[in-house]
Amino acid sequence: MQHKILAIAAIATAIGAPAATLAQTVGVARPGVVVTDEPTIAVEQQPAFRDYVIRERVPTYTIPDRVVVGGVLPEAGVTYYDVPQTFGATTYRYTVVNGETVLVEPHTRRIVQIID
């Protein structure tokens, strides 16, 4: 009987582990939501960052998909820009997609933050 209980517990743990991991890494598609623990643009700095992007006249790229945290941008056709140090040290880059400013992990092209 104990062997059956241990087997059931092991199976339940194996099934639940991927779901727990997924819950920690997938973000909700809302502006300002962050998927990672890496430094991003702080909420209080977002208005100044949006003003900076407007002053720089960064072109917007149009994609057919919705712009969501966790989404991956196309491999070609999008230009990524360095985030100025005044907004914090980050390894992410930014761009404007479908009119929304986003932070992107440059190697995977995954959106990590939508600047609200």
pLDDT tens-digit readout, 71-103:
999 988 899 999 999 998 889 999 999 999 999
pLDDT band per the 50, 70, 90 thresholds, residue 23: very low
82 or 3, greater pLDDT: 82
- Domains of the chain in start order, with CATH, are 28-114 (3.10.450)
What's the whole-model pTM score? 0.66
Mean pLDDT of 46-62: 94
Q: What residues form DSSP beta bridges with 3?
A: none
52-83: string of b/e by CB count within 10 Å (b at 16+)? Answer: bbeeeeeeeeeeeeebbbebebeeeebebeeb
pLDDT at position 1, please? Answer: 57
pLDDT at position 37, please? Answer: 57
